[in-house]
């Protein structure tokens, strides 16, 4: 979710019903060396998005502990140690899943972060290094003994990366193995998947990642499904594109028009997914160089949907959010 879960998207997700949002991964090495991008962009939060978990990654226990004050000053309600990322550039620094390969270092890092933190510390793992590896169970127990307040499990192995189905039974095994809340992750793509995961695994909470791309309202739907209440309908195409425009303007206010439009092109393909002639619309969006041009393209697209009562996307209240003035 790097490049997606910036504070603009997190605020949309909170207003779309998410109970907790998580930052992009923050490099503890970058904080150590005063990387301005990390401090000024990845660590910035809004009061309106709280509660928020600030997600860190690193390979050295002491450096990770030294990152704690930065996270707390940024408003972290939870500090999450990512030991599940399998991206090569993260692993190269001994971070992410490399910590799972070195349990003693993983436990030491957790203990040091817990020692320095005044907020709960959680850890995210993968379900082993290979399909036959269940060492994540023993590691999780040791992490809890070191002070981890909860464990999130991506129910795929390191060798799977993001391929193949998530094995929710591995989450159920972790629930039985530890006495802290377990957060399930993997293949929660539709609102109904959330209560099904909870029923099948006994997990305490559900983490939605790729299922929220272009659908920040999915959290409200999932929460209703978990509560056994009527599920709010999907927004109409016009409402959906109105939210997309809100997202774009929020990014402009936060990052400036040039960077925001670059990020919006990628996000717009998710918002338009499943709509008629979406491929043509996505191609047109790549030509927009200003927010005004993007608005014009969205209005033209809404008109082309040729549905009774279609109107251009309505203004969103977030356009007037004081956080972006």
Report yes or no: 147 and 111 within 8 Å, Cβ to Cβ.
yes
Helices (H), ranges, 129-230: 135-145, 168-177, 193-201, 218-227
Question: Could you give the CA distance from residue 233 to residue 220 in angstroms, rounded to a whole number?
Answer: 10
Beta bridge partners of 138: none
* The residue to which tokens 């979710």 are assigned: 1
* The residue to which tokens 């620094």 are assigned: 93
Q: Please tell me whether residue 162 adopts helix, strand or coil conformation.
A: coil
Question: Could you give the CA distance from residue 253 to residue 31 in angstroms, rounded to a whole number?
Answer: 25
Backbone dihedral region of 40: left (phi > 0), alpha (psi from -120 to 50 degrees) or beta?
alpha
Q: Is 246 among the residues known to form the active site?
A: no
Catalytic residue among 85, 203, 246, 302: 85
**In the structure encoding, which two tokens stand for residue 274, read together?**
């499943």
- 84 closest CA partner among 151, 149, 35, 20: 151
**In the structure encoding, which two tokens stand for residue 23, read together?**
């930052």
- Active-site positions read 85
């Amino acid at each position: 979710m790097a490049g997606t879960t910036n504070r603009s998207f997190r605020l949309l997700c909170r207003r779309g019903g998410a109970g907790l949002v998580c930052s992009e991964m923050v490099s503890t090495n970058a904080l150590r060396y005063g990387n301005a991008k990390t401090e000024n962009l990845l660590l910035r939060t809004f009061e309106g998005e709280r509660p928020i978990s600030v997600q860190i990654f690193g390979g050295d226990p002491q450096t990770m502990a030294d990152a704690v004050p930065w996270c707390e000053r940024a408003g972290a309600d939870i500090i999450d140690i990512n030991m599940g990322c399998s991206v090569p550039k993260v692993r190269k620094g001994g971070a992410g899943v490399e910590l799972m390969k070195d349990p003693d270092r993983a436990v030491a890092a957790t203990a040091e972060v817990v020692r320095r933190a005044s907020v709960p510390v959680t850890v995210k793992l993968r379900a082993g290094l290979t399909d036959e590896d269940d060492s994540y169970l023993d590691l999780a127990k040791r992490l809890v003994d070191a002070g981890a307040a909860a464990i999130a499990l991506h129910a795929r192995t390191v060798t799977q990366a993001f391929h193949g189905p998530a094995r929710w039974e591995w989450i159920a095994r972790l629930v039985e193995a530890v006495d802290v809340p377990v957060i399930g992750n993997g293949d929660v793509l539709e609102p109904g998947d959330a209560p099904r995961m909870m029923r099948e695994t006994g997990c305490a909470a559900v983490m939605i990642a790729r299922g929220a791309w272009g659908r920040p309202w999915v959290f409200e739907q999932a929460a209703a499904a978990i509560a056994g209440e009527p599920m709010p309908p999907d927004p109409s195409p016009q409402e959906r594109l109105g939210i997309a425009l809100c997202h774009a303007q929020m990014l402009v206010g936060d990052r400036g028009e040039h960077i925001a439009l670059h990020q919006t092109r990628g996000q717009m393909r998710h918002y338009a997914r499943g709509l008629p002639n979406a491929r043509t619309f996505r191609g047109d969006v790549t030509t927009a160089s200003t927010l005004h041009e993007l608005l014009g393209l969205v209005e033209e697209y809404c008109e082309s949907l040729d549905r009774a009562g279609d109107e251009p996307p309505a203004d969103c209240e977030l356009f007037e959010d004081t956080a972006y003035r």
